[in-house]
């Protein structure tokens, strides 16, 4: 018993210290909250402090945007925020107006689109390096009172697409390989492509390609024209569902960097960002770490090909990756 006393005293002392440390940790947690959900812990923890913050997540009006909007919305909900969705805003101009007007608090935008469409940066002036493009966009957004969060790993950009058989027949893997062959090839792209530096004009000027004919066509026909043999070459997107569901097509490597990098950044108003605290940033960053090009193609395919809803697809992604239960 006697011997036991000092031990007890020691234990008590330990307990006091431990408790102090725990309290400190707890207190710290309440303020910056995310030391608990460290990068290694994948699941998003709901923080009761967020319950008073309303966040309306927006998106533009196509598949990839619907999915991204759902992913961010569901993740933020899991983090404890009160989330509303407005996922069909139309073009980027409308989305930006909705964001500035406070109709939505944040939405996913492509860095290349933001730079060219919002900030009048010409396509050839967009940094070729994805990280530089993102920081350029972040600076410009900051001037507008908007916060652009760190980007997704995937980049959604134009790409030169061909049937694999045709590419093998011609022996091409890079866009520059088309030199000397393009005069016999037909190119199909959106009507806009014809006069864009980050499309036909760039392919002609930077690669010195001269196609037999450029035919403008609705964007949703970009694979059909390849399938039907009308187009030898078609302008497609790097995250297209078709690239994951079929190995018929390949994209040629853009070795001279004509197509600017289009990583997605979640853009929020400064007001929302301040009100929401640090969980907004950590949650956004966390859920998008798994979004590589391959994964994004697959998610797009689940909606466009398998006809699942973006909501279900987003939920499945978050579950499979362990972000939510």
**Given candidates 77, 116, 238, 251, which one binds another protein under the rule CB under 8 A?**
116
Tell me if 215 contacts another protein by CB under 8 A.
yes
One residue of 2, 3, 5, 228 binding another protein per CB under 8 A: 228
**Position 224 contacts another protein (CB under 8 A):** yes
Pick from 109, 198, 293, 298 the residue near another protein by CB under 8 A: 198
Check residue 61 for interaction with another protein (CB under 8 A).
Answer: no
The stretch among 39-47, 217-225, 235-243, 260-268 that binds another protein (CB under 8 A) is 217-225
Instruction: Name, in order, each residue with C-beta under 8 angstroms of 81's C-beta and a sequence gap of 6 or more.
Output: 50, 51, 53, 54, 55, 276, 279, 280
3-state DSSP assignment of residue 253: strand
Q: Does 123 bind another protein (CB under 8 A)?
A: yes
Told to check if 37 binds another protein by CB under 8 A, we report no
Q: Does 124 bind another protein (CB under 8 A)?
A: yes
Rule CB under 8 A: choose which of 115, 147, 217, 235 binds another protein.
217
Question: Would you list the DSSP string of 31-94?
Answer: HH-TTSS-TT--SPPP-GGGGG-EEEEE--SSHHHHHHHHHHHHHHHHTT-EEEEE----SHHH
104 — alpha (psi -120 to 50), left (phi > 0) or beta? Answer: beta
Contact 158, 149 (CB under 8 A): no
What is the spatial distance between Cα 110 and Cα 114, in angstroms, rounded to a whole number? 6
Residue 43 found at the interface with another protein (CB under 8 A): no
Residue 122 binds another protein, judged by CB under 8 A: yes
Q: Which is nearer to another protein, 130 or 201 (CB)?
A: 201
> Can you tell me which of 90, 145, 191, 208 binds another protein, judged by CB under 8 A?
191
Nearest to 271 by CA among 93, 138, 104, 145: 145
- Look up tokens 């043999």; give the residue: 229
The tokens for 118 are 């919002």
Q: Which stretch binds another protein (CB under 8 A): 51-59, 98-106, 216-224, 233-241?
A: 216-224
The rounded Cα 70 to chain-centroid distance in angstroms is: 12
CB 127 within 8 A of CB 137: no
With binding defined as CB under 8 A, does residue 135 bind another protein? no
**Applying CB under 8 A, which part among 64-72, 164-172, 196-204, 242-250 lies near another protein?**
196-204
Q: How many residues at the interface with another protein, by CB under 8 A?
A: 25
Under rule CB under 8 A, residue 194 binds another protein: yes
Residue 225 engages another protein in binding (rule: CB under 8 A):
yes
User: Which residue's CB is nearer to another protein, number 194 or number 256?
Assistant: 194
**Cα–Cα distance for residue pair 178/138, rounded to 1 Å:** 35
Element (H, E) at 318: helix 310-320
Q: Interface with another protein by CB under 8 A: which residues?
A: 116-117, 122-124, 190-192, 194-198, 201-202, 205, 215-218, 221, 224-225, 228, 230
């Amino acid at each position: 018993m006697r011997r036991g006393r000092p031990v007890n005293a020691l234990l008590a002392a330990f307990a006091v210290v431990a408790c102090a440390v725990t309290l400190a940790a707890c207190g710290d947690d309440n303020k910056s909250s995310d030391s608990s959900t460290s990068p290694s812990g994948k699941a998003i923890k709901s923080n009761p402090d967020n319950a008073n913050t309303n966040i309306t997540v927006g998106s533009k009006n196509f598949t990839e945007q619907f999915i991204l909007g759902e992913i961010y919305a569901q993740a933020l909900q899991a983090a404890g925020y009160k989330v509303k969705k407005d996922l069909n805003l139309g073009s980027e101009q409308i989305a930006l107006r909705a964001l500035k007007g406070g109709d939505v608090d944040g939405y996913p935008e492509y860095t290349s689109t933001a730079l060219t469409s919002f900030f009048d940066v010409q396509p050839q002036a967009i940094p070729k390096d994805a990280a530089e493009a993102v920081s350029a966009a972040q600076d410009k957004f900051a001037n507008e009172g908007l916060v652009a969060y760190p980007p997704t790993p995937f980049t959604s950009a134009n790409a030169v697409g061909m049937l694999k058989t045709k590419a093998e027949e011609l022996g091409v893997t890079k866009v520059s390989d088309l030199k000397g062959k393009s005069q016999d090839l037909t190119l199909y792209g959106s009507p806009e492509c014809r006069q864009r530096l980050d499309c036909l004009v760039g392919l002609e000027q930077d690669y010195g390609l001269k196609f037999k004919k450029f035919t403008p066509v609705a964007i949703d026909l970009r694979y059909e024209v390849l399938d039907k043999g009308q187009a030898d070459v078609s302008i497609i997107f790097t995250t297209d569902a078709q690239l994951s569901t079929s190995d018929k097509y390949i994209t040629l490597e853009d070795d001279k960097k004509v197509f600017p990098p289009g990583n997605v950044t979640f853009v929020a108003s400064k007001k929302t960002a301040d009100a929401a605290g640090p969980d907004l940033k950590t949650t956004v960053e966390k859920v998008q770490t798994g979004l590589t090009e391959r994964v994004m193609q697959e998610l797009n395919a689940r909606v466009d090909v398998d006809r699942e809803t973006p909501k279900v697809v987003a939920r499945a992604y978050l579950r499979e990756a362990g972000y939510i239960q």
